[in-house]
Amino acid sequence: MTLPKHVRIVEVGPRDGLQNEKQPIDAATKIALIERLADAGVSHIESGSFVNPKWVPQMAGSDEILSNIHRKNGVVYSALTPNLQGFGRAVLANTDEVAIFTAASESFTQKNINCSIAESIERFEPIMSEAKARGIKVRCYVSTALGCPYEGYVAPEKAAHVAKQLYDMGCYEISISDTTGVATPASTQRVLEECLKLIPLEHLAVHMHDTYGQALANILIALQMGISVVDSSVAGLGGCPYAKGASGNVATEDVVYMLNGMGIETGIDLDTLIQAGDSICTALGRDNGSKVARALLTKG
Amino acid sequence: MTLPKHVRIVEVGPRDGLQNEKQPIDAATKIALIERLADAGVSHIESGSFVNPKWVPQMAGSDEILSNIHRKNGVVYSALTPNLQGFGRAVLANTDEVAIFTAASESFTQKNINCSIAESIERFEPIMSEAKARGIKVRCYVSTALGCPYEGYVAPEKAAHVAKQLYDMGCYEISISDTTGVATPASTQRVLEECLKLIPLEHLAVHMHDTYGQALANILIALQMGISVVDSSVAGLGGCPYAKGASGNVATEDVVYMLNGMGIETGIDLDTLIQAGDSICTALGRDNGSKVARALLTKG
């Protein structure tokens, strides 16, 4: 067991979270959330998605948001860019870093982005070369790395192979994603073992959903394997599109509480983070998906 | 890491769970729950509490319940017995095993059972000798072993010392209990390390609450330390009396899902268990506190 001393939280609430919330959310509310997260000490905030608003209307104002955030020194404001057009918009909005995504199962890429895994990776080539030319770092998600809503089981070798291709293309960080939250500590360990055969530890991250309540246990195993980058969503923003009413992203507050207890630094102030999550939940009229927030807000 | 091959789940829903639910619940509903749990393969069910109904009205029908359950071979139907009077009632109702409880913090025993820890342990003497004479096994909970709602921090050595006294008195199993759910994997590991200095591994169990969402991660650490007995509550029955609206007991379904994924046997059929939890939630008109149940019931 070689627990990391410091963990970098990649906050995905304003993107992965809000894109799955039903209520329309104006740009000002999103900007307020992003700024509160930065005030809490979050150093990497995925702040929007430059997708076609026809497909993801919730992400429509990303240009405005990335352009108007009051930026804090040392904070990375990133965005998802599925194609070169989106990447162009991201550049215009002064996005610090971009993220791309594909999946480890063919059915998922077919149904979700209408192409094969190989095709999805090919499509990233122009983004990668533009990003390289401009010195913009590219992060990548490997969705369904621990299970697929259509295929079920996904071989860990397959997920690791996809991750390796993206690493070889120049992605500086590959986030191994449990899109449907079906993973347990055992399957998490297996897929990370396969990834570690191909990719150095410091280039791997985990992106765990809490749909089956397993996210923190899975993150714990990842930490024990030395992983030091964890994706999470404040207040557990974002449901699960594959199980109505079920949880999606693991709540940042719950991750930070665990890391605090384990003496692992994040640079995040839990109380300020809880306030940030509480504000957006109030704005959305939604229950807080963080158990830590619920316990501490009720107690206080 | 020496993961156990088999874990015994001690189902506390019908007792620890239902005693914290607000709605009045009739004996027939409780009996149906207990029988459904046994049908799912749960081999140890804490089925009632022989306390004064003046203090815990939710447990009033325990005599009737323990007397009328259709018993299944190989299943232990136990009950909480705080004093000799309760123990007598348990014997009359043919209770297989009894459980007693004290705490690791003085403020908690004072406010909760109106005596010191030492006094609470003294009071168990007559129960222990009656139980020994009758060949009835006694289990014990050490509440607030990982934190106290009044004192906050509880020294792990203190919790281990209380556990050791109960072990020396003849309790066959000591369940180290995180009453308020504040533990993280680090504090769980510390208290278990202290306990293991004084008590053999096979006599220790963990009783984790999920108030801060940490229960499964804490159970994972306990499993890695070799602990093979886990308390849990179907559908996460029972809230947290110290934080209104917050979660209490970890849901049995979520524990079993994790153990299944890790290849650790429990003898429990997850689907039947989910049905048992769904039935009692419907009867109580309450949301299901198990994320696994919510995900699978919505999906189905």
At B249-277, the pLDDT tens digits run 999 999 999 999 999 999 999 999 999 99
**Could you tell me which residues of chain B have a Cβ less than 8 Å from any Cβ in chain A?**
181, 183-187, 210-214, 216-217, 219-221, 240, 242-247, 251, 254, 257-258, 260-263, 290-292, 294-296, 298-299
Q: Which are the catalytic amino acids of A? A: 240
Strand partners, A78: A46, A97
Q: Which residues are A80's β-sheet partners?
A: A49, A99
pLDDT of residue B146: 97
Instruction: Read off the tokens for B136.
Output: 């009835």
pLDDT bucket at B2, cuts 50 / 70 / 90: confident
Q: Is the pLDDT of residue A243 over 70?
A: no
- Nearest residue in B to A300, CA atom: B243
Tokens of B32: 């149906």
* % of chain A beyond a pLDDT of 90: 87
Tokens of A166: 């993206």
The 10s digit of each residue's pLDDT in B53-78 is 888 887 888 999 999 999 999 999 99
Contacts of B261 in chain A (CB under 8 A): 183-187, 214
Residue A1 has pLDDT above 70, yes or no: no
- Closest by CA position to B155, among listed B110, B99, B117: B117
Alpha carbon distance A103, A120 (integer Å):
9
Query: A220 to chain B: which residues are within 8 Å by CB?
Result: 185, 217, 220-221
Tens digits of residue pLDDT in B227-241:
999 999 999 998 767
Going by C-alpha positions, the residue among B203, B192, B114 that lies closest to residue B156 is B192
Give me the percent of chain B exceeding a pLDDT of 90: 87
* Helix residue ranges per DSSP H, B54-206: 62-68, 84-92, 106-113, 117-134, 156-169, 185-198
**CA–CA distance, B197 with B114 (Å, rounded to integer):** 30
Contact across the interface for A213 and B299, Cβ inside 8 Å: no
Question: Smallest Cα–Cα separation from B3: which of B227, B173, B214, B200?
Answer: B227
What is residue B14's predicted lDDT score, i.e. its pLDDT? Answer: 94
pLDDT for res A112: 87
Is CATH 3.20.20.70 correct for B8-299?
Answer: yes
Q: What is the per-residue pLDDT for B242?
A: 67
The dihedral region occupied by B213, where left means phi > 0, alpha psi between -120 and 50, and beta the remainder, is: left
- Domain spans of chain A, in order of start: 8-299
pLDDT at A242: 67
Residues of A engaging B, defined by a Cβ cutoff of 8 Å: 181, 183-187, 210-214, 216-217, 219-221, 240, 242-247, 251, 254, 257-258, 260-263, 290-292, 294-296, 298-299
Comparing alpha-carbon positions, the chain B residue that sits nearest to A247 is: B291
| Distance, C-alpha A58 to centroid of its chain | 16
pLDDT (average), residues B19-30: 87
A263: left (phi over 0), alpha (psi -120 to 50) or beta: left
A83-141: per-residue pLDDT in tens? 999 999 999 999 999 999 999 999 999 998 899 999 999 999 999 999 999 999 999 99
| Catalytic site residue from B140, B148, B195, B240 | B240
pLDDT in tens, A137-170: 999 999 999 999 999 999 999 999 999 999 999 9
CA–CA gap between residue B216 and residue B259 (Å, rounded)? 10
The predicted-structure confidence for B192-222, as pLDDT tens digits, reads as follows 999 999 999 999 999 999 999 999 999 999 9
Residue B300 — very low, low, confident or very high, per pLDDT cuts 50/70/90? low
Chain A: give the shortest CA distance to residue B216, in Å.
Answer: 6
Rounded-to-integer distance, Cα B129 and Cα B63, Å: 22
> Does the predicted TM-score (pTM) go above 0.80?
yes
Chain B residues closer than 8 Å to A244 by CB:
298
Q: How much of chain B, in percent, has pLDDT values that exceed 70?
A: 97
Burial B102-135 (b: 16+ CB within 10 A, else e): bbbbbebbbebbeeebeebbebbeebbebbeeee
Position A37, amino acid: L
Considering only A11-20, A89-98, A226-235, which range has the smallest mean pLDDT?
A11-20
Element containing residue A298 per DSSP (H, E): helix A291-299
Residues of chain B contacting residue A257, judged by C-beta atoms under 8 Å apart: 184, 212-214
**Considering only CA atoms, which of A14, A56, A3 is closest in space to residue A235?**
A14
How far does the CA of residue B210 sit from the closest CA of chain A (Å)? Answer: 8
Q: Do A243 and B299 touch (CB under 8 A)?
A: yes
B8-15 mean pLDDT:
96
Best CA proximity match to B60, nearest among B9, B19, B93? B19
Read off the tokens for B137. Answer: 């096994």
- For A165, residues 6+ apart whose C-beta sits below 8 A from its C-beta are A121
Quote the CA–CA distance of B300 and B294 in Å, as a whole number: 10
Mean pLDDT of chain B: 94
